[in-house]
Chain A
């Protein structure tokens, strides 16, 4: 089990929409928000899942920037 954290910054004024979107993804926990940036932890099976999540979320139109911060293994 991989545990990765990200800071995901929303495009202006789309923070709530992004939060809803993230909440529906399996394995996602949102720990907080500051200045339109969300602290997100993603649990998944493999590094490939982390990579896919990173790539997919980076392309999302509600997202301005994604910063991967931490990854660990359970």
Chain B
């Protein structure tokens, strides 16, 4: 019997719900019977930064099923994407063999030949043009061991900071936001805070689709506790907004005014926590572009102009909503904020992150159960492998900075490389790496486990730049072709997810080990193995074979994990107690975890709730201490951040704001989820969401084809007239490789985080 699409969708929906409660749903007729697993391997979902624990069912050397880990934080819940994970491993377009492009066509070559070519290209370029002529672009999906190795190879081995990762595009503003407000990166709270919060402030995040499992727990909390309030600030009436007690709709890019206005109300109505502010906060502003301390009174004066009325004029968010949100935020027993790309992908991304932190600091809604500012993460190892391990061009491992001489010396000593080896100048960030590659300033670029040929903003410019006879692009990928691998000079087939082993670190500082469950297909290999081989051979080609033996003496990922643990020793991240043996057994452990008997830390910066490092870094602290910010006496910073609009607001010529995002069924550039039959059936094309009012004005009907035109290019999409975006805002997703939405988006970036403003591009719409 052939199932109709309607029946399939209904069954997919039911299966997702059944999996959420660990129930086996009988398969409908017309579908193949599910194979029974011979063994279940503990692992982590491959997709978002929520980091759901899973068990992977293996039978006859194949992954046949995935179920949620009931003993992990997600309590056995998975979203629909997680449930269908097995299919991503067996897609027809898995990259099978190393390929070289000759005369515009890919030809199969051996691994030895591929490695010889890469090594000779990189070595030749380094000898001729210096170390800054080569670069690596990594991923928040790579394992920590892989990212740490390439970071060490480039910064400690070669002495170049030409290494950055795709988290620069998704969470750099959150990272710099934490650092500027609290001295060090990463959230102090955890998912357990959901069970203690009685007010949720969700801004710039459609959790219901992008982080559905976390959202489910908020729903559950609200259902069981009717007094719990949910505030959603979003220019779209998203699925998330539809459960909100208060939906604050506003013109994209104006939220700095709203957040300052909430602070204004909190001050005016005396809702701030005077004791907390006196004990734990300093105030800062920028004077002549440098941070300068100011008094509380100066802050009050600064915030004076941000009345709810002023914010309403700027943002079109009703002032009553702003006042109500401020009161709910401040008066609740415990307020937890969540945000994601809506705040981060902005030219004022760091500032707007700071303004959320300001609200928590003003009200003392921080460092106790349920009270915390929590940045959601897009990729499964953006926190652990990139932010923590330091694979960004301005970072060194575990909170150390390239510009800090002491930090450079520490890592030089740790790695056993000569003093001065690490370049004191931060390297180019994601967009600038591709800009330099386009100009030929970078000659050899290695892209691993990511798809910049689809995901970079102002895409057409960088796609053209990736193809040149003067440069050499290596792409390590599990699939081929992707919109990036099609541009490569050389493609390396990569093992995917449980075809290799390694460590992931998710949004709440939880590190989890992923065991290898099955072999990779054809000639695909784990990136770690390939990177180590490359490092050794490159150094041999550079005449530094002896140094390579010392620097890259790893046989397994456990060898390098031991070094990684040691790199964290003495830092605020300290996870020297997270041995591989412990991680294999545990359902994740949260750092800090400074010894093998430590259970891990739910909440940081508080003695009362168990941070083991407070007394180490701030012996005088009685409870709360923001010990990452020693320079300010272990206090956090409330920043005076004025309202600034987006780089490209709507105007007469381009009267709409285009904003982009994700949908429940798909993840990022769709290389994995679009291989899953059920998910692709459920959602298979990009559409342009447009409000009914705007559609009427333009004479556009549902399913009409429209041309969306920005200053950078145009694309034709099917219109979806729907009560979701506010008037003046249009929306689409970036998952589909046949519709390169990022041709339209803006590559202007935040001055501090260098994260581009994907979320706001001025466009015009024409009916085709």
Do residues A31 and B25 form an inter-chain contact, with CB atoms below 8 A?
yes
Is B21 located at the chain interface by the 8 A CB criterion? yes
Chain A residues, Cβ within 8 Å of B682: 72-73
Binary A-proximity of B217-234 (CB < 8 A = 1, otherwise 0)? 001100110000000000
A22 contacts partner chain B, Cβ-Cβ < 8 Å: no
CB distance A34 to B22 under 8 Å?
A: yes
Is B223 a contact partner of A66 (Cβ separation < 8 A)?
Answer: yes
- Looking at the complex, which of B11-19, B160-168, B288-296, B494-502 is the stretch in contact with chain A? B11-19
Complex Cα spacing A50 to B241, Å: 13
| Contact status A67-B242, CB under 8 Å | no
B403 partner residues in chain A, CB cutoff 8 A: none
The answer to the question of B212 belonging to the interface, with a C-beta cut-off of 8 Å to chain A, is yes
**Shortest Cβ distance from B215 into chain A, in angstroms?**
8
Q: Identify the closest chain B residue to A37 (Cβ).
A: B21
- A1-57 with Cβ < 8 A to chain B: 1, 3-7, 29, 31-32, 34-35, 37, 39-41, 43, 46-48, 50-51, 54
A26 CA to B589 CA, complexed, in Å = 46
CB of B9 closer than 8 Å to a CB of A:
yes
Q: Which of B10, B21, B242 contacts A34 (CB 8 A)?
A: B21
Question: A39 touching B25 by the CB < 8 A rule?
Answer: yes
CB-based contact B17/A72 at 8 Å: no
Which residues of chain A come closer than 8 Å to B688, judged between CB atoms? none
* Min distance, Cβ B78 to any Cβ of chain A, angstroms: 10
Bound complex: CA A67 to CA B208 (Å): 11
**A residues within 8 A CB of B18?**
31-32, 34, 39
Do the beta carbons of A31 and B683 come within 8 Å of each other?
no
From B12, B22, B219, A70 is in contact (CB under 8 Å) with B12
Q: Is the CB of B23 within 8 A of A73?
A: no
Known contacts A65-B220, A65-B224, A70 near B25 by CB under 8 Å = no
Q: A67-B220, A72-B683 are in contact. Are A5 and B17 (CB under 8 A)?
A: yes
**B703 CB within 8 Å of chain A:** no
Distance of B219 from chain A, by nearest CB (Å): 6
Chain B interface bracket (under 10, 10 to 19, 20 to 34, 35 or more): 20 to 34
Number of A-B contacts (CB under 8 A): 101
CA distance A62 to B239 in the complex (A): 25
**What is the minimal beta-carbon distance from A73 to any residue of chain B, in angstroms?**
7
In the bound complex, what is the Cα–Cα distance between A61 and B243 (angstroms)?
19
Cα-based distance from A5 to B9 in the complex (angstroms): 10
| Chain B positions within 8 Å of A4 at CB level | 13
For the residues of A in contact with B, the DSSP-based class is strand
**Chain B residue at minimum C-beta to C-beta distance from A4:** B13
Report yes or no: A39 in contact with B23, Cβ–Cβ below 8 A.
Answer: yes
Residues of A within 8 A of B145 (CB): none
Interchain CB contact under 8 A, B17 and A69:
yes
Q: Given A65-B220, A66-B223, do A31 and B664 touch, yes or no (CB 8 Å)?
A: no
Assembled-state Cα–Cα distance A33/B613 (Å): 46
Interface size class of A (residues with CB under 8 A): 20 to 34
* Assembly CA distance A43 to B4 (angstroms): 15
Whether A69 contacts B212 in the complex (CB less than 8 A), given A41-B14, A54-B243, comes out as yes
CB distance from B631 to the nearest CB of A (A): 45
B689-748 residues with Cβ-Cβ distance < 8 A to A are 722-724
Which of A32, A34, A48, A71 sits near B723, CB closer than 8 Å? Answer: A48
Known contacts A66-B219, A67-B220; A73/B683 CB under 8 A: yes
Q: Say yes or no: A69 contacts B80, CB within 8 Å.
A: yes
Do the beta carbons of A51 and B242 come within 8 Å of each other? yes
Separation of A3 and B7 alpha carbons in the complex (Å): 10
User: Which residues of B are found within 8 Å of A50, using beta-carbon distances?
Assistant: 242
B5 contacts A by Cβ under 8 Å:
yes
Q: Knowing A7-B21, A31-B25 touch, does A68 contact B13 (C-beta < 8 A)?
A: no
**Interface flag for B216 (CB, 8 Å):** yes
Query: Is the beta-carbon distance between A3 and B10 smaller than 8 angstroms?
Result: yes
Say whether B224 contacts A71, CB under 8 Å. no
- A72 near B12 with CB under 8 A, answer yes
Known contacts A35-B21, A65-B224; A71 and B14 CB within 8 A of each other: no
Closest 7 CB pairs of A and B: A5-B13, A31-B14, A5-B17, A70-B16, A34-B23, A69-B17, A72-B682
Q: A3-B9, A47-B239 are in contact. List 20 more A-B contacts (CB 8 A).
A: A5-B14, A31-B17, A31-B18, A39-B18, A41-B13, A41-B14, A43-B10, A47-B722, A47-B723, A47-B724, A50-B242, A65-B223, A67-B216, A67-B220, A68-B208, A68-B243, A69-B20, A70-B12, A70-B17, A72-B682
